[in-house]
Structure 1
């Protein structure tokens, strides 16, 4: 019980007797996340449970408590708030006593889910606010000698007003650059490989704060473009090419004439410098992001309203090839900057730019049943074509049984791995698992999904 002392001395653990209206809202490599209503507090909370049904006093208990402790230490307006430790048996799990973290519930998902829903990036004023808020959160975290170590769009959560907060500190640790001793355990680092710096692919690498600064540069690119970096590359290819200097292409961004965007792109490229010492601190990043945001601050209310209206409106035309468009007037050099409205350019499948207009048609948001049908209808093609099977299995989290995960990992080809997923996970798992697989494919295999009309 020593690890539990990290938080238990400040508040009583939250148990099932205090929670109601449980809903599963997501899962990942570290665990499963539920939404629940706290009966006494009167508001919804998020409950993060350890992966693989880890029980009380299991080895991962320390990792969870350390994550909660780090979140509490880094608590600020731009970091997800932690309320305490959960001890109980989550409904529908059917497992023994488990523990988790009780956290602030963010009603609008993540930056990743937002870009998925919009089929691209958010409007410029909102995009600039997001990158600034992430920099604020990371600057505060680093000021407390903590690292995030897994900074990516899915770990930047959004509240009801689309304000950003950093989440998922499962890989965070005290920054070794801030320590005077060698207490940092060598060789123990993780994170999503597409957001990892070149030096992190070395087996002797010890994580420092420059890791987060690189990840922030890739995150900037993702938010500005609305895309996943290196969509067709698996781990081995990324690990080979990134140390050789490959980075996401900025060709499309350079065509966009937006006030302040050049400064942001320059910051992006500096953040993903090969030499870690040349990457700017987050305090230096803030000077750029705050200046860029100041040029568009007046456009934020309209941008947020446009996005929320889009997210809450009925969706149409499932097979439309046109990206979501927002009715922001084009800003020309003759117009005063005080309008804070800019041209919102998106790129269609043909690679040509498409400026927003009232005639644009947005794709229909698919139900879980539609997603499951898509997976069933395209079974043969998916088995032959899906390459990032392990990354997708990791994304599905505890939907993939531990034994099944080992069987998949042991297979030599992607086709064999996909057959195991269908036979052992999708067939018995039903609609929910197939819908989660569909969402994972949209992230990891966007080109394939576009080709199939998904």
Structure 2
């Protein structure tokens, strides 16, 4: 039987507008409709055309891994796109055709809610991610980049592992003469201490560590190490034993949370041999998630009330007296939320009750640039984010980093990538400011 990843999908198989829903160092992701199957799909295009053998091989390898990992909690691949994307100025492209996830990612959800999801949903997400990871490990695969933005959510907020660009066969499943010496990829905040060694080869314990940090993000609703934006600093601190703080989680009186916090701490143990296996993890997460199974519909309903308040009646709003910080099965819950959709939606962000379009974000940046130049302090982190999304050329990025003062760095970004990239790059700059300068943005937004 032919592999799905060999299935060619052309423009004749698709219909409707191509809508850009995400971008990164890999290129861009578009949403369109797969006419043959009658469903919406996401198409991940690389940075280069098929003239690049490296890019082509990378696409085929990622599609192959995704297909090998076909499972309920792993993103499904439909085939390889070939053609010139309609409505764009791009030349001939190849890309991966994947299922489209309506609710973005866990990262999207945490930002939308300005905090963690209701505990029943948080515990189900923890279990579903563990199930996906366990399936990969059973198939001798290491994901190598588990983090909130790489766990996508369907319309029912079920989790599926995505972004297999770094995935590979675990070296623990290879013979010695088969071991590869590839560069280790990943995201520093979610990488285990041993992975910062240039001679390290990825094994399953890499994912276990990342899963522990991912659990912390889900339960806290935060990004780990917010004060350490420089990757160089993380490469020093993580091997020395720094981990996200757990005191606040330990104070919460939530049935089942203590057990999962203990599991989380075991997952990020400094010694990889002491980390639990994925088969052990799913036993713990299943036990807790089952306690809250009957509360899932109510939890999702409350989240939807917050994400889409205009579609909910006054009577369906959760009680202001309820709280996520102390809950046991059967209790009601509530959450504060700010809409900020970065994937599977139009490029927009909520500022109070108003949603800004890409053009409005760009205008905001232009209008407030004089203040941003003077007051922005996390500009290195912002430049890193733009660079990771492919919004800054290598030469421009190096020029920005060479500037000694933050004000000069901001001016260099504005006069270079922002001016040449237009509204799209300015909107990305706006989003980066929201991520790394929340207090400054709150003041600028009045």
Bin for the TM-score computed over the shorter chain: 0.7 to 0.9
Matching residue of 2:282: 286
Residue 286 of structure 1: SS of its match in structure 2?
Answer: helix
Matching residue of 1:366: 355
Matching residue of 1:388: 381
Deviation at residue 117 of structure 1 after TM alignment: 1.2
Segment of structure 1 superposing worse, 119-128 or 409-418: 409-418
Matching residue of 1:427: 419
Segment of structure 1 superposing worse, 113-122 or 65-74: 113-122
- For residues 202-241 of structure 1, the aligned pairs below 5 Å read 202-233=197-228, 234-241=230-237
- For residues 30-429 of structure 1, the aligned pairs below 5 Å read 30-51=26-47, 53-233=48-228, 234-314=230-310, 329=322, 339=330, 341=331, 363-364=352-353, 366-368=355-357, 369-383=359-373, 384-385=376-377, 386-397=379-390, 399-401=391-393, 404-405=396-397, 407-408=399-400, 414-429=406-421
Deviation at residue 239 of structure 1 after TM alignment: 0.8
Kept after mapping to 1: 8 A contact 2:362/2:423: yes
Deviations 1:169-199 (A, max 9, x none): 0110111011123433225111111111111
Segment of structure 1 superposing worse, 141-150 or 86-95: 86-95
Cα distance in 2 between the residues matched to 1:263 and 1:26:
36
Kept after mapping to 2: 8 A contact 1:6/1:65: no
Residue 380 of structure 2: SS of its match in structure 1?
Answer: coil
Structure 1: which 5+ runs fail to align?
Answer: 316-323, 348-361
Kept after mapping to 2: 8 A contact 1:71/1:82: yes
Residue 443 of structure 1: SS of its match in structure 2?
Answer: helix
Deviation at residue 430 of structure 1 after TM alignment: 3.4
CA RMSD of aligned residues (A): 3.0
Summarize the Cα distance change of 1:338–1:310 in structure 2 as closer, same or farther, 3 Å threshold.
closer
Deviation at residue 375 of structure 1 after TM alignment: 2.4
Segment of structure 1 superposing worse, 370-379 or 26-35: 370-379
Summarize the Cα distance change of 1:215–1:180 in structure 2 as closer, same or farther, 3 Å threshold.
same
Residue 387 of structure 1: SS of its match in structure 2?
Answer: helix
Kept after mapping to 1: 8 A contact 2:65/2:167: yes
Kept after mapping to 2: 8 A contact 1:389/1:414: no
Deviation at residue 403 of structure 1 after TM alignment: 5.2
Deviation at residue 153 of structure 1 after TM alignment: 0.4
Deviation at residue 402 of structure 1 after TM alignment: 5.4
Summarize the Cα distance change of 1:85–1:405 in structure 2 as closer, same or farther, 3 Å threshold.
farther
Deviations 1:278-314 (A, max 9, x none): 1111111111111111221111101111112221224
Deviation at residue 365 of structure 1 after TM alignment: 5.4
Structure-1-length-normalised TM-score: 0.85
Segment of structure 1 superposing worse, 226-235 or 410-419: 410-419
Summarize the Cα distance change of 1:430–1:209 in structure 2 as closer, same or farther, 3 Å threshold.
same
Residue 91 of structure 1: SS of its match in structure 2?
Answer: coil
Kept after mapping to 1: 8 A contact 2:382/2:429: no
Query: How many equivalent residue pairs?
Result: 423
Summarize the Cα distance change of 1:288–1:442 in structure 2 as closer, same or farther, 3 Å threshold.
farther
Deviation at residue 156 of structure 1 after TM alignment: 0.4
Deviations 1:27-71 (A, max 9, x none): 0122210001122221111100012x3434531211111111000
Summarize the Cα distance change of 1:390–1:182 in structure 2 as closer, same or farther, 3 Å threshold.
farther
Cα distance in 1 between the residues matched to 2:271 and 2:167:
22
Residue 149 of structure 2: SS of its match in structure 1?
Answer: helix
Deviation at residue 332 of structure 1 after TM alignment: 12
Matching residue of 2:348: none
Cα distance in 2 between the residues matched to 1:376 and 1:282:
48
Deviation at residue 373 of structure 1 after TM alignment: 3.8
